[in-house]
Amino acid sequence: MKRLILIACSTFAVRALIAQQPVWQPVSGLTQTPIWLGAPPDGQPVSGPEIDTTTSKDPLIAGKPVLRLGNVAVPTMTVYPPKAKNTEAAVVVFPGGGYRILAIDLEGTEVCDWLSSVGITCVLLKYRVPDSGPYPKSTAALEDAQRTLGLVRSHAVDWHIDPHRIRVLGFSAGAHLAAALSTHFGQRLYKPVDAADEVSCRPDFAVIIYPGYLALAGENFSPNPEIHVRSDTPPTFLLQTEDDRVAHVESSLVYYAALKTANVPVEMHLYTEGVHGYGLRRTALPVTGWPQLVETWLHTIKMLPN
């Protein structure tokens, strides 16, 4: 009887330990660090621990599954140091997922592997989901983004990066988050907690890939009034396909027009095919060669050395 009790207790302990193991962890040698010193501001309850929401019905991207991370209550950042010669540039990456989940590998780790391979320090932000945006529906994701930009800039000396060459790169909802940060950097949405919140959280430039929420589909695709483009909005690279039925092409078009009206440097690439959610994974479609376009653009605007 005692042996049965011990076995049952051991089984329960193992199951509890497995349940506590994070669904996603960066590769060996890298560590994800909470961005807040204590409880995040404006926190919302989640239904359980972090979970991979991917099912067998979800489509493969370039023949591979996607890790769809849900129930993120503790936002973290993971720093990927440059693998090639350090260019002293840095990029904060915002994965997409409709503010419901994070495509943490497709639009996160795989992006950081690319950026670090060309000498850029990459910071992957695991921001809060679900229901953390789009701003102002919730302030949580934008608070996480503001906080992370300040942290990266405050660590510029430690991480050997130029504090004036920090960009953001986002996909889908993460692209909306990049645009929201590009237009909401003048004042923090939360009470400052340390010196990192005293430095600017303005990105020096932004890469926005198949963005959502920048045009209001229910209002004849009029510009989102919460995205206030001004002359100090950072230079921006936009990428979109015409057949995207998740993040409609109008989101990119109206944002491009607003940037042009404000005399903000912008480059846009519009493709016929590609649908949505391809990340960096190469397919037969030309749009998936976009990383080379970004590298060329960065050289053009002097963010990468020639």
* Average pLDDT of the residues in 163-175: 97
pLDDT band with cut points at 50, 70 and 90 for residue 17: very low
pLDDT tens digits along 193-207:
999 999 999 999 999
Residue 64 confidence class, pLDDT cut points 50, 70, 90: very high
Q: Is the peptide bond before 234 cis (omega within 30 degrees of 0)?
A: no
Mean pLDDT of the chain: 91
**Mean pLDDT across the stretch 119-134?**
96
Q: Tell me the C-alpha distance between 159 and 146, whole Å.
A: 19
User: Residue 173 pLDDT more than 90?
Assistant: yes
Q: Is the pLDDT of residue 14 over 80?
A: no
Return the pLDDT at 113.
97
Q: Is 200 exposed, middle or buried (0-12, 13-18, 19+ CB in 10 A)?
A: middle
Residue 6, pLDDT > 50, answer no
pLDDT of the residue at 21:
55
Tell whether the model's pLDDT for residue 20 goes beyond 80. no
CB-CB neighbours of 63 under 10 Å: 7
**Ordered domains of the chain (ranges, CATH):** 29-300 (3.40.50.1820)
Report, as an integer, the average pLDDT of 8-13: 37
Give the whole-angstrom CA distance, residue 201 versus residue 96.
Answer: 20
Lowest-confidence pick of 179-183, 244-248, 302-306: 302-306
What is the spatial distance between Cα 5 and Cα 278, in angstroms, rounded to a whole number? Answer: 50
As given in the structure block, the two tokens for residue 232 are 């100090």
Q: What is the DSSP letter of 138?
A: -
pLDDT band at 301 (very low <50, low <70, confident <90, very high): confident
Q: In the prediction, which pLDDT does 277 show?
A: 95
Tell me the β-bridge partners of 266. 236
